[in-house]
Chains A and B, each alone.
Chain A
């Protein structure tokens, strides 16, 4: 299988783009014409050949450019990757999970040779070859969490379990929907999610925590979450809000199709074998309205969902100021 990796940017001139194949496999998150919070969890991986659910860690045409964008963000702000001292073992667990999965699922791109604790990793798309001793951090250029997540699309939170709660004690967060790892690291599940409106009162977090605490070894699950982002920007961090905030107000009826993106998070949950921590990868997919509307059923459904959404959620998801323009654009694709 030949693979193509886009040369594209997620800031500045924003040359990010989706091929027809990437649009076809975009994980459209709505299964009905209305939206409300739900836990919507399914086993992972597992899905049709070529879908974003097929493999444990999907590698797509944006891989190389996304990793370059992460490197830029980390160079400006190294605190986007943090690990409290007791989380290093969980970092090794995650490194193993990702290397084993990618070498199995994409043998043309990744190779992992293991001889006891002597490991040999080859990442062809990024041109990396590394020999190291598993569990010996001195043999890698970064800590295990940072090393592997500089080579894997999506944000990563590592959750430590104690006192029947989950604590956000490590993470690599450079493509977040406006939350700060540096501020939230060390928080428990309820503190970390406290700014999300309405959900706690609806019992969503109690249910989600109960589910996550029950995840066992060898089981993994996924859910989809979504928000809206102006321009294909991965780094919508609160740290840089004063830099990207003005772009949110740049939407016009003329440019909304190209500049307004549906941002979908493929969230997966994995129990890690040595540390018993939970890995919580948050993979971000971006697709502009114009590309989404090449699929008439998506155009029709997205129009209804965004038109009728609870105003509090429109505000929380950050598109209330552009809602009217977005809905009018989408209405043009709907045959009533």
Chain B
């Protein structure tokens, strides 16, 4: 998948520069199947980047996994979904050495969730690189009930927890790893604007 161009936005909205190699520093790399291409590009730019790398692929397509296996010397970990990737990444972080770099690539929701997990584990923000690939779907937190709705592709959308209709803000919390959703018809109950696809 190609890299994604984002519309200009506010300061809290993350931007995603292409991944840059920190050479053979210890590394934790996590990608979904779209993001695997970004890791492959990174490895092609500097083969030393995998020297001390732990690699986790979330639900990878078999061709991506096969290409990755060819590029690296250590086994590639795979998990079926983000929920199962979390404990594995936490385990890798718990034994990580000083100077460990984290490379995340793929959907905003996955990167937001793992970024939040990594900083909560004590990894400094400037040791984490992110590159967006694939879907423009967002991970949204409902400001009212605090529930997270994954893979939101429309604005407005319905909170999967409390059922309020929420509009999609660009305001993003790195601690929570999610954008903020706010009741769209709070002042005029029932008056809901036309649903639109979210653009990157």
A residues touching B (Cβ–Cβ < 8 Å)? 79, 180, 182-187, 190-195, 200, 238-242, 245-246, 248-249, 321
For chain B, the bracket of interface size reads 20 to 34
Identify the stretch in B33-41, B78-86, B139-147 within 8 Å (CB) of chain A at 4 or more residues.
B139-147
Chain A residues with Cβ under 8 A from B169's Cβ?
A: 195
Chain A residues with Cβ under 8 A from B141's Cβ?
A: 183
Q: List 13 A-B contacts (CB under 8 A).
A: A182-B146, A183-B173, A184-B173, A186-B175, A187-B174, A192-B12, A194-B11, A194-B12, A194-B13, A194-B171, A195-B171, A238-B182, A242-B144
Chain A residues with Cβ under 8 A from B164's Cβ?
A: 242
A333 to chain B, nearest CB (A): 28
Chain A residues with Cβ under 8 A from B172's Cβ?
A: 191
Chain A residues with Cβ under 8 A from B188's Cβ?
A: 246, 249
Chain A residues with Cβ under 8 A from B70's Cβ?
A: none
Q: Do B174 and A186 touch (CB < 8 A)? A: yes
Complex CA distance for A182 and B147, rounded to whole angstroms: 13
Most A CB within 10 A of own CB, among B11, B146, B175: B11
Give the residues from 1 to 50 in chain B that come closer than 8 angstroms, CB to CB, to chain A: 10-13
Chain B residues with Cβ under 8 A from A186's Cβ?
A: 173-175
B residues touching A (Cβ–Cβ < 8 Å)? 10-13, 141, 143-144, 146, 164, 169-176, 180, 182-183, 186-189
For the complex, would chain B's binding face be called helix, strand, loop or mixed by DSSP majority?
A: loop
Q: Do B11 and A190 touch (CB < 8 A)? A: yes
| Known contacts A180-B180, A241-B144, A241-B183: A185-B175 contact under CB 8 Å | yes
Complex CA distance for A195 and B12, rounded to whole angstroms: 8
Complex CA distance for A177 and B76, rounded to whole angstroms: 49
Chain B residues with Cβ under 8 A from A183's Cβ?
A: 141, 143, 171, 173, 176, 180
